[in-house]
Chains A and B, each alone.
Chain A
Amino acid sequence: MNYFRSGLLVANLLFLTRAVYAQKAEILDFSFDEGGETSQCILSFSSIPEYNVFILDNPPRLVIDLFDAKPANTPIQPPTKHPAFIRLRYSQRNKTDFRLVLDLNKPVNQDNPVTAVNQSENGMLIVQLNYQAQNTNIEPLTHKMLLPLKIIDTPSTSNVKMDLTRSSDEIYKAEPVPILASKTPLGAGDGTDTLFSNWEISGYVGAENLGFFNDGTDSRQHNNYVSGVIQPEIYRRWDNDKQSFTFVPFYRYSQHDNRRTHFDIRELTWEKATDRWELRVGFHKVFWGVTEGIHLVDIINQTDFVENTDGEDKLGQPMINFAWVNDLGTLDLFFLTGFRERTFPGIEGRLRTDPMIDMGEAQFERHGAEKHLAYAARWSQSFGDWDIGLAHFHGTARQPTIVPTFDTQGELTQLIPYYDYIDQTSLDVQVTQGSWLWKLESLVRLGQGSAIFAATGGVEYTFFDLFESGLDLGVVVEYMYDSRGYNNMTALTQQTIFQDDILTALRFGFNDVQDSQILAGVIFDRTHNTKLFSVEASRRIGDNWKAELELRLFNGIPASDPVFMFKDDDHIRAQLSYYF
């Protein structure tokens, strides 16, 4: 009895761990016999792998999945149209499994469409297809054709006679058609697509009130601003979801502040994705980075500074982005085809310098095409707990140097943005271990004065489901360093306000039906002892409304700190949005 049980245990173990030790089977040959109401695929192998054979409808496809198997040679497509199928496709589903798909050109018998016969003694798998009985108008002739695996080095081990006489110019190498193409979308497929169908429209409209507790340093500034915003999104996908078009215009009207009243094309993108690459052309938004306090390495898009000082709102960037997806990660190549200037508040606006930054007088290191064209590349990959991104940017800086002009009395009269031509190399890393997230962003920038080194990093720890209430409490601690920060003049001109600062924040996620969240934090400047307090809260109301609240306080700012310009700008921002 015990004997039997241990034997069984071993047998079960063998069964379960098949994938671990199994030799990869080679697919040596594949032929297809056509014969009226039935036809046969014959696959021959070095050893028969595990397989799964089935039919997919609309359009009819025969799918043969082979586990722990690979073709002995690159499969090739038959040169002429075959009476039984339109084309053959194949893909490596993952590192071990191989899939063959035949697009059939006639319907199969619904009751008994396919039978697979395993002839392990001669290393063959025979897949028999049964067609619908009424389909008799097909060629009755037995049509034999050698299909894709033409064995050049290995002699065929199959004992079935095959037509190996076809000359090499009669066969052509097939485009490896990704299996993605066979995906039948749950929505409408290509067949019912017209240019005017299947457009998806969504987006939001919002009303905002921005209130300041104190008078501004400039008497032309106001204490309360009402504004409205709309951002619709028009989207369409086709080609089995491989191609898509997105259009996201944006408009904000702001009372008093003529610079904050602005229009932008956030997105106007055509996108195509295949098994190995993705291509995006048009206005698009790209985010790089991992940290919460500042987004140091995020450089593709210009910051829409009038929208919010947190740097998370971006202007649409015209680009051509090619992403090459392979086993070593993703390599994104960017050709950025138009420079966008950073937005700054107008003369009546708040959260601005005094005097205001004069966008109309902006100056550039390079002109013409050189000013507008930028190039970037980023490699990113995940290794277990590690997510890594390594990037380089070459072109006009997104962050301008602010150049002051003084009159003869030494009074500051004007501030002009100056856009340098830079090279920036950056690294971003996140290590995710249990409830701990370890984050680092760092960069080296050349071309904006002397070489700049900046880094930010820290930890985020989350207590999930605190006291079994569903509440998540996250604690974020990050340090920010910038080599420009110790020179006050540089700090002012390059807006480097986070040069030696520590962010401490608490994030409350209530995980309730309304998706309520609160993020409260303080950034402490170790050099100037300045404290910036920030509270952000949001909550859904009903199904379509969302309320957001944002409180920012600038506390104890000495005149030496470049954020001194915001010393009177404590404010509260409330927005109510309707999503459609």
Chain B
Amino acid sequence: MKTIMISIALGFLLNPCFAKTPEEIGLEISEEVVRKDTGWLDSQSELKMILRNRSGDESIRQLRMNTLEVNSDGDKSLTIFDSPADVKGTAFLSYTHALVPDDQWLFLPALKRVKRISSSNKSGPFLGSEFAFEDLNSFEIPKYKYKYLKDEALDGIDCFVVELYPQYEHSGYTRQISWIDKARYIILKVEYYDRKNSLLKTLENKDFKLYLDQFWRPNEMLMTNHQNGKSTSLITENLKFKTGLSERDFDQNTLKRSR
């Protein structure tokens, strides 16, 4: 029965005869992106962040991130910082939610202190990088309103171009324009427009790899800030899905033990 429903939905989506508003099409495309990326259960990854300033000087951060897919709510994640050395052992626990504010805790290893922190920080930089906190949060449908703009080829790949309008508080953006691969329903590029509606940043997702024959993930996420000339690459060095993590791996006790 469910299969039938999905095929109806797909047929509906792909059939241009139905008169749908750009908003409805945009929402449907985004729902399909989310649906296609459901069922990975959990992941463990090792990430490298390369921060580049205007003159090309690089600074590197090493982190590990565990994520748990949560049905009917935002994901849970635990991020552990390995470098720079002075923040080694600092860990960040986050329970994301679709519309209510996320729950976030920070573990400070020098004091052995777990600190509940405000999750209102959406637009601020993550670890001094060009990624804002909101750029790295899990993607949930109710967080945005959508509008389909056009079809366009990006580097020879047929894409839907969809505009997203953040609906949560404290976002640093008026809108985001996404290029979504029509065949795989993955986001290849995003342009971020700041509160004054001028182009702030561009995210390019590169070198996609297929995991478990189902989930596409970029090997590199390159964020370029057009206003300050800086850029940050987030490189996946190791990524595993379905590793058997449970809720217990995302509680404050685990946060305290993290290194």
CB <8 Å contact, B111 and A287: yes
Is A83 engaged at the interface, CB distance under 8 Å to the other chain?
Answer: no
Q: Which of B112-154 contact A (CB under 8 A)?
A: 112-125, 128
Which of B59, B112, B194 is close to A543, meaning CB atoms less than 8 Å apart?
B59
A20 to B72, CA, bound (A): 8
Contacts of B46 in A (CB 8 A): 186
Contacts of A387 in B (CB 8 A): 116
Q: Which of B180-202 contact A (CB under 8 A)?
A: 194-195
State how many angstroms separate the Cβ of A515 from the closest Cβ of chain B. 6
A194 to B218, CA, bound (A): 35
CB <8 Å contact, A286 and B247: no
Among A244, A330, A465, which residue has the most Cβ atoms of chain B within 10 A?
Answer: A465
CB <8 Å contact, A382 and B124: no
27 A–B contacts, CB within 8 A, in A order = A11-B5, A12-B9, A52-B39, A56-B244, A63-B242, A63-B244, A94-B246, A94-B247, A178-B248, A180-B246, A183-B249, A186-B46, A382-B252, A432-B117, A436-B118, A464-B118, A464-B121, A464-B124, A465-B121, A465-B123, A514-B128, A540-B84, A540-B86, A543-B84, A543-B85, A544-B85, A580-B85
Is A579 engaged at the interface, CB distance under 8 Å to the other chain?
Answer: yes
A286 to B6, CA, bound (A): 52
Is B235 engaged at the interface, CB distance under 8 Å to the other chain?
Answer: no
When A180-B244, A186-B64, A330-B253 are in contact, do A434 and B128 touch as well, CB less than 8 Å?
Answer: no
Binds B, one of A148-156, A270-278, A345-353, A408-416: A270-278
Among A14, A97, A287, which residue has the most Cβ atoms of chain B within 10 A?
Answer: A287
Q: Which of A429-485 contact B (CB under 8 A)?
A: 430, 432, 434-437, 462, 464-465, 468, 470, 472
B-contact bits for A90-101, CB 8 A (1 contact / 0 none)? 010110110101
Is B8 engaged at the interface, CB distance under 8 Å to the other chain?
Answer: yes
Is A361 engaged at the interface, CB distance under 8 Å to the other chain?
Answer: no
Our count of residue pairs bridging A and B at CB distance below 8 angstroms stands at: 175
Contacts of B71 in A (CB 8 A): 19, 67, 96-97
Is A8 engaged at the interface, CB distance under 8 Å to the other chain?
Answer: yes
Contacts of A462 in B (CB 8 A): 118, 120-121
Contacts of B79 in A (CB 8 A): none
State how many angstroms separate the Cβ of A7 from the closest Cβ of chain B. 9
Contacts of B251 in A (CB 8 A): 325, 330
B-contact bits for A256-279, CB 8 A (1 contact / 0 none)? 000000000000000101010010
A52 to B87, CA, bound (A): 38
Is A365 engaged at the interface, CB distance under 8 Å to the other chain?
Answer: no
Is A74 engaged at the interface, CB distance under 8 Å to the other chain?
Answer: no
CB <8 Å contact, A579 and B243: no
CB <8 Å contact, A435 and B120: yes
A515 to B125, CA, bound (A): 11
A129 to B242, CA, bound (A): 18
Is B176 engaged at the interface, CB distance under 8 Å to the other chain?
Answer: no
CB <8 Å contact, B253 and A15: no
When A8-B12, A11-B5, A465-B123 are in contact, do A434 and B118 touch as well, CB less than 8 Å?
Answer: yes
State how many angstroms separate the Cβ of A332 from the closest Cβ of chain B. 9
A462 to B194, CA, bound (A): 21
Is B99 engaged at the interface, CB distance under 8 Å to the other chain?
Answer: no
Q: Which of B237-259 contact A (CB under 8 A)?
A: 238, 240, 242-249, 251-254, 257, 259
A63 to B244, CA, bound (A): 9
Is A496 engaged at the interface, CB distance under 8 Å to the other chain?
Answer: no
CB <8 Å contact, B87 and A515: yes
CB <8 Å contact, A186 and B240: yes
